[in-house]
Chains A and B, each alone.
Chain A
Amino acid sequence: MAPTDTSAPPRVPFWRDPAKRALVFQAAALILVFGIGYFLFVNTQANLARQNIATGFSFLGNEASFEIGESVIPYSAADTYFRALLVGALNTIKVAFIGIVLTTILGTLVGVARLSKNWLLSKLAGGFIETMQNIPVLLQLFFWYAIFYESFPAPRQALHPLPGVFLCNRGLIFGIPLKDPAHGAMFWALVAALILSWFLHRWARLRQARTGQIFPAIRCGLLLCVTLPLLVWWGYGAPTTMDMPVLRGFNFTGGMTVSPEFSALLIGLVLYTSAFVAEIVRAGIQSVGTGQVEAAMAVGLKSGQVLHLVILPQALRVIIPPLTSQMLNLTKNSSLAIAIGFPDFVAVANTTINQTGQAIEGVALIMVVYLFFSLSTSFFMNWYNKKMALVER
């Protein structure tokens, strides 16, 4: 051994130094990714220019000149492509939001039923799960849509189960209250009631922690949410005029219509996805040790309280992450709407692409919009997941 070895470690050449090597490789990877990206971009631009295909997003301001079947906001063929796409995005949000809420409720019920000690209920839930999981969702959509248009009568022979409610192959049509300033005020009253309920719940919890006395906060909150808007409605002179559907010419006018396309899409998505959610809920509940339940029962909690206070808080930690991915699945599957004629974002974007020829821009928009939906769902669910985890500890 040479004596110089003790004074200073030998200089490691930089290609042997793991830290430096990692840096070099990362830089190389970055350059490669950007290089390929730049190359694809330039090449696409050149190809488009050579084929005389117009590029850019300026088409968004042009008149769309196509009609859309149903819309949350006012829309006509004279509006721009931008507004048409907005209509499509809102339709997607509508079906995804209602679908997620219904799926969570139905999935939880079926999941709990699957674990029921009642043999029939448990087997029925099992049968539902197996059937719904194993039939492709597109097939289910076609099935539900066909049920609507094949088995319900034409508007002139519409079923009339209740006054002001009609059911025919144009959908479910029912009367709604005529537009009145009271409705806006009732909405804000509901918001106020919800905020009040939240404070009430907090106060009740603190009081219970301090004194051990239980206050029925949830029931009081519900009562508040019902009575406050009703009081406001009464204060406005209790307007009761209804906008009733009337058969005029080909179709019903007035009232509100839930179209067969929307219903079929919603039913198909909810049944399909809730089967997966049910399995997730079942797994979550089973992951809670039996000792927990026995202990909870031993201290004298009722079975509802056991579920609410002991099982669910622990099960939710297992349930929430896969539940999030089912919510994302539902949102993405809603793009199958085009097969049964519901104008969701993809359907409107496809028509736009077809009319303007801006395929790359259109597909980019689809990607951005679905990325936004997915990220916001994940963001919310991750926040909820963290909150649940913190409460637990």
Chain B
Amino acid sequence: MKLSRIMVVVAVLLLMSAGLACAGQDLDAVKKKGYVQVGVNGGVFGFGMPDEKGVWRGLDVDTGRAIAAAVFGDASKIKYTPLTAQQRFTALQSGEIDVLCRNATRTLTRETQLGLNFVTVNYYDGQGFMVPKKLGVKSAKELSGATVCVLPGTTTEQNAADYFRSNKMDWKPVVIEATAELAKTFFAGRCDVLTSDASQLAGARATAPNPKDYVILPEIISKEPLAPAVRHGDDQWRDIVDFTVLAMIQAEEYGITSKNVDEMLKSSDPGVQRFLGVIEGNGKALGLDEKWAYNIIKQVGNYGEVFERNVGKNTSLGIERGLNALWTNGGLMYSPPFK
């Protein structure tokens, strides 16, 4: 009977909409699924990219794993969705992913217009320019008339427009959606300049056919605080993601690493005891297991370890800690007390 079929369709639609209407409890939804769905970058070396064996690696990937460790006590309970700059916010808005860990810059417009909340910054970056050495360019001020490769839909794209406009310089953008394709185009000489966050430039250079032929110009033209983001409307989930990032920073400050975390359980410092759940309370407040911070550090590591493993001096990116050092070492990484 046709009518009964229609009734079924209507009923299904109603149920779906009811599901949509009360999907505020992100933590419950994540726990029910049994894994965290994390939006990551698919092609930025050091931040989010699968290695040659297909294992996801990077600073943002490790942030996602830390969230899984906090929620499930198991950093492997995670699924990745590689997203382009164009897709990332829509994927989060529509509920396709639970959290976005994909070098996204926190801005006023994004925070207010997109229905998103950014949490603590996990990498302080700034936009730079990379050029071939043989052009002999020493400063970004000499770039008038240049053709510039840039990703679409990024703050980078707008910053570049602002920078050239304010310095009264002409330029021509070449805008390609896929990060890898864009870098290939630049290395082939279609553009004079590649502009992006300095960390991404270093990542792109590491994949160049001949990295020594390229130089990153000294000018940093913007502030790019990169932070994970969650949807509006579930403060508990936001707190969990926020304090996961903060726990890694706090652990570094306490000197707790993945190697010594078991010994640190015996520490007499009440701060450390509270942090690792020996003195209970923090976990319950977040709606998590009391061992949540212990699990993060044991399975993923503290912020310093994660930084050095993915982008630090001994990787092919070779990035100094700089702004991303702890506040005690002259950087900006600072965690509120875990009380």
Contacts and interface: CB of A to CB of B under 8 A. Distances in A.
A39 B157 CA distance: 38
Interface string B108-120: 0110111100000
B85 A354 contact: yes
A353 B90 CA distance: 9
Given A339-B177, A357-B89, A36 B165 contact: no
Chain A residues touching B, range:
35 or more
Contacts of B192: 250-251
A137 to B, nearest CB: 16
Nearest to A145: B185
A50 B160 contact: no
A357 B113 contact: yes
Contacts of A54: 112-113
A252 to B, nearest CB: 9
Chain B residues touching A, range:
35 or more
B238 to A, nearest CB: 13
A359 B89 CA distance: 10
A355 B13 contact: no
Given A249-B144, A250-B147, A354-B153, A78 B174 contact: no
Contacts of A48: 115
B153 A339 contact: no
Contacts of A260: 190
Given A51-B231, A52-B115, A341-B176, A77 B153 contact: no
Interface string A141-157: 00000101110001000
Contact of B176 (A50, A52, A146, A339): A339
A150 B144 contact: no
Nearest to A78: B165
Contacts of B181: 339
A248 B145 contact: yes
Interface of B: 6, 10, 13, 17, 20-21, 85-86, 89-90, 93, 109-110, 112-115, 135, 143-147, 152-154, 157-158, 160-162, 164-165, 171-178, 181, 185, 188-190, 192, 231-233
Given A48-B115, A341-B175, 9 more contacts: A52-B112, A77-B158, A146-B188, A248-B145, A249-B145, A250-B146, A251-B146, A353-B90, A355-B158
23 contacts: A43-B20, A51-B93, A51-B232, A53-B114, A54-B112, A65-B162, A69-B173, A69-B175, A77-B165, A78-B165, A149-B190, A251-B192, A261-B174, A338-B177, A339-B176, A340-B176, A347-B152, A350-B177, A351-B152, A354-B152, A356-B113, A357-B114, A357-B115
Sorted nearest first, the 4 A-B pairs with minimum C-beta distance are A354-B153, A51-B115, A357-B114, A77-B161
